Amino acid sequence: MCYAIPGKVVGIKDNIVTVDYFGEKKKAKNDFYSLERGEYVYAQGGFVVQKVSIQEAESILDTWKELFFQLQKTDLKLAQNPKTLYQRANYIRNKYLGNACCIHGIIEFSNYCRCDCLYCGIRKSNSELLRYRMEPDEIVNGAVEAAKNLGFKALVLQSGEDLWYDDDKLVEIINKIREKAALLLVLSIGERDVKTYKKLYKTGARGVLLRFETSNASLYQKLRPKHKLEDRIELLKKLREVGYLIFTGFLIGLPGQTKEDIDNDIKLTASLGTDMFSFGPFLPHPQTPLGKYPAPSLDAVLSIIANTRLANPEAKILVTTALETLDKENGMKFGLLAGGNSLMINLTPQKYQRLYDIYPDRVGIEEDISRRIDSTIKLLHSLGRAPADLGL
């Protein structure tokens, strides 16, 4: 199984290559391979992840060819004659980015956290939560399995802010993964020194997922005691300078958040040069101070996805696990039809999944991974989405 279609390199300018997918051209950054025109690559998230032999690529493309055009047709049909807000957003997504859909795996490797965010179930004050840490080799094995057996090309490594994983451990994990597997590695490990992030970039990590949570500085400070919004924004800007692809965004429906805040959240996400918009509903966790506040409605979240799409036609917008959790039946589908074009699939070993309890009753928990992958692929097929790269 594969979450990317190989593409042919048809242009090279410094470390930016143009990749052709059945006539559709996308740009991708190439940091790791020496490439010539006519060679084939897998790219994901606008990044060249792997080189593929011409023979292998041509045989894979042969199996994709018919399906690829069929998917394009399905998507186009679903995007025609837009009337509602969601349909207009879907139309714009199709018009600017076609039917490509990025699929990322995520491994949540530790639920220890030094932060005490009021909304988060793994906050350090939650003494009822059983804590776990995956050993470095367990993380490496999970990542290699994701790439080699499950076919993922992009993987998020996420944890609470857990300093047990010091620079040496993180470098070791990334080095070992890169020795054994070709993956776009995205770190979601919270606020660390820029020095640490620079080291990890040098080791081969290329993405950072770090939400700013809310653009309202006083709300931020209330929800994240002892933390300041400006520090997080500063860090995001520095990480972008280092070269990281930036995945960031905000929470929807936080107590005290206004509509104006959300408009500013969307603008801030865009102004940071975000490569992947990642925003989702706040879901109340009973073991937190915000446990009694309501979650936002599905429509509120979908409208924000749609408005974000209309304001940012070329954005990559993630349909988050929290949205899928808000509506287990249709969250993913509706998100993809309201402007979303990226997904995450949880690859955390089953025995830990329930413990990564940032919010309750997460979708897909303890479900068989191959079943979950199959149902996701089926949904993507029904919507006409292809795992081609979205480009830079």
Does 282 help bind ligand 5AD (rule: CB under 6 A)? yes
CA dist 353 and 346 (Å) reads: 9
Task: Count the helices and strands in the chain (H runs, E runs).
Answer: 13, 15
CA dist 163 and 200 (Å) reads: 15
What is the separation, in whole angstroms, between the first and last Cα of the chain? 24
Q: Across the strands, what pairs with 108?
A: 158
Name the 3-class secondary structure at 50.
strand
Count of other CB atoms within 10 angstroms of residue 24: 17
Does 224 help bind ligand 5AD (rule: CB under 6 A)? no
Tell me the per-residue interface mask from 230 to 259 with ligand 5AD, x by CB under 6 A, - otherwise.
Answer: ---------------------x--------
Does 118 help bind ligand 5AD (rule: CB under 6 A)? no
Among 79, 92, 120, 254, binds ligand 5AD (CB under 6 A): 120
CA dist 339 and 318 (Å) reads: 9
Region for 238 from its dihedrals, namely left if φ exceeds 0, alpha if ψ lies in -120 to 50, beta otherwise: alpha
CA distances from 233 to 217, 237, 238 (A): 11, 6, 9
Does 213 help bind ligand 5AD (rule: CB under 6 A)? yes
Q: How many residues bind ligand 5AD (CB under 6 A)?
A: 12
Provide, rounded to whole angstroms, the least separation between the CB of residue 334 and ligand 5AD.
17
Q: Among 4-12, 53-61, 275-283, 377-385, which window interacts with ligand 5AD (CB under 6 A)? A: 275-283
SS3 content of the chain, % helix, strand, coil (to 5): 40, 20, 40
Does 153 help bind ligand 5AD (rule: CB under 6 A)? no
Does 3 help bind ligand 5AD (rule: CB under 6 A)? no
Residue with tokens 């399905």: 74
Name the 3-class secondary structure at 38.
coil
Provide, rounded to whole angstroms, the least separation between the CB of residue 315 and ligand 5AD.
18
Q: Which is nearer to ligand 5AD, 251 or 276 (CB)?
A: 251
Q: Which is nearer to ligand 5AD, 26 or 285 (CB)?
A: 285
Q: Which is nearer to ligand 5AD, 18 or 278 (CB)?
A: 278
CA dist 387 and 375 (Å) reads: 15
Does 306 help bind ligand 5AD (rule: CB under 6 A)? no
Site for ligand 5AD in 4-23 (CB under 6 A): none
Q: Which is nearer to ligand 5AD, 205 or 283 (CB)?
A: 283
Site for ligand 5AD in 327-386 (CB under 6 A): 358-359
Does 108 help bind ligand 5AD (rule: CB under 6 A)? no
Q: Among 27-35, 214-222, 280-288, 341-349, which window interacts with ligand 5AD (CB under 6 A)? A: 280-288
Provide, rounded to whole angstroms, the least separation between the CB of residue 112 and ligand 5AD.
14
CA distances from 356 to 106, 285, 363 (A): 12, 12, 12
Provide, rounded to whole angstroms, the least separation between the CB of residue 207 and ligand 5AD.
14
Q: Which is nearer to ligand 5AD, 78 or 208 (CB)?
A: 208
Provide, rounded to whole angstroms, the least separation between the CB of residue 226 and ligand 5AD.
16
Q: Which is nearer to ligand 5AD, 211 or 309 (CB)?
A: 211
Q: Which is nearer to ligand 5AD, 119 or 277 (CB)?
A: 119
Among 3, 119, 152, 201, binds ligand 5AD (CB under 6 A): 119
Phi and psi (nearest 5°) for 165? Answer: -85, 90
CA dist 147 and 105 (Å) reads: 9
DSSP 341-383: -EEEEE-S-HHHHTT--SSSS-TTTT--HHHHHHHHHHHHHHH
CA dist 232 and 50 (Å) reads: 32
Query: What residue ranges bind ligand 5AD (CB under 6 A)?
Result: 119-120, 211, 213, 251, 280, 282-283, 285, 322, 358-359
